[in-house]
């Protein structure tokens, strides 16, 4: 989700005629081709071969060649650590996407020119955690309409489950077989549709019963 958000943000910035580039501390970026096709080159460092300090130096050199005027740390602690080395004159912005990274605000307040959060409540929380920090809200994801979209229940039909996202361990996909087992144990009829792709797809196809689960 945060990578999708970053792609949309970068595409919007590109729409104003500014240059953007992406730098990552992991060997693989699932949106690398999308970023490249949108005019945003991607540079990655391989965590399987290099320790953090070497990846930091490698990405810093590549970033220095790009000569950014603004650096955005998106989600990860590695990205926030890189902000410590960004020279004066370059604006440093931190993105907070979830409650688990809220402590980044006071921890990195001395190297942040501003912080962007994706929940309006977190602006108030951010001001309590770091009173002198600049914290702004930016709408994230799909807006939820005010009117209710609740449908009438159909207790006579099967429980219908839908998953949208990458098939990766970080997304909790290893829990899916246990969810299926528990539903079957309780004799709950269900249909589960999975929308996405990723490295865990072979595992899911091998462990989830095809009569119950569809892939799209």
Q: What is the pLDDT along the chain (216 residues), one digit of tens a residue?
A: 778 888 888 999 999 999 999 999 999 888 899 999 999 999 999 999 999 999 999 999 999 999 999 999 987 899 999 999 999 899 999 988 877 777 888 899 899 999 988 888 888 888 888 888 888 888 766 666 677 667 777 778 888 888 888 888 878 888 999 998 998 899 988 888 888 888 888 888 888 866 556 666
Task: List the alpha helices (DSSP H) in the chain.
Answer: 2-15, 32-37, 52-66, 77-82, 104-107, 120-129, 176-185, 201-207
3-state SS, residue 161: strand
Supply the pLDDT for residue 20.
Answer: 95
Termini Cα distance of the chain: 18
- CA dihedral over 62, 108, 74, 127, signed as positive or negative: negative
Q: What is the pLDDT of residue 142?
A: 61
Helices (H) and strands (E) in the chain, counts: 8, 9
| Best CA proximity match to 96, nearest among 70, 127, 122 | 122
Model pLDDT, residue 79: 92
Q: What is the pLDDT of residue 141?
A: 60
Q: How far is CA 70 from the centre of its chain?
A: 20
* Residue 46 DSSP symbol: -
Residue 62 φ then ψ, to 5°: -65, -40
94 Cβ neighbours under 8 A, 6+ residues apart: 72, 73, 80, 83, 104, 105, 108, 112, 114, 115, 116
Cα(5)–Cα(19) distance, integer angstroms: 17
Give the pLDDT of residue 23.
95
Helix or strand holding residue 137 (H, E): strand 135-137
For Cα atoms 211, 179, 102, give the angle at the middle one, nearest 5 degrees: 135
State CA 12 to chain mean position distance: 17
- Confidence at residue 149, expressed as pLDDT on a 0 to 100 scale: 67
Please, are residues 5 and 11 in contact by the beta-carbon 8 Å criterion?
A: no
For residue 211, the model assigns a pLDDT of 59
What pLDDT shows up at residue 55? 95
β-pairing verdict for 190-195 and 213-215: parallel
């Amino acid at each position: 989700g945060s990578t999708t958000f970053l792609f949309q943000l970068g595409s919007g910035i590109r729409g104003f005629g500014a240059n953007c580039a992406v730098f990552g501390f992991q060997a693989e970026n699932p949106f690398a081709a999308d970023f490249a096709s949108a005019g945003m080159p991607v540079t990655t460092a391989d965590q399987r071969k290099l320790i953090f300090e070497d990846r930091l130096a490698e990405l810093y050199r590549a970033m220095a060649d790009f000569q950014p005027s603004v650096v955005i740390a998106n989600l990860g602690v590695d990205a926030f650590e890189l902000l410590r080395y960004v020279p004066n004159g370059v604006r440093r912005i931190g993105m907070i996407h979830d409650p688990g990274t809220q402590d980044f605000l006071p921890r990195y307040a001395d190297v942040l020119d501003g912080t962007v959060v994706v929940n309006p409540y977190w602006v108030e929380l951010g001001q309590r955690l770091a009173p002198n920090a600049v914290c702004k809200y930016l709408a994230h994801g799909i807006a939820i309409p005010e009117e209710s979209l609740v449908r009438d229940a159909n207790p006579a039909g099967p429980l219908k489950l839908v998953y949208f996202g990458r098939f990766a361990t970080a997304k909790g996909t290893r829990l899916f077989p246990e969810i299926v087992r528990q539903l079957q144990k309780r004799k709950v009829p269900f249909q589960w549709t999975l929308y996405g792709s990723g490295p865990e797809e072979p595992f899911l196809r091998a462990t989830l019963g095809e009569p119950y689960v569809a892939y799209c």
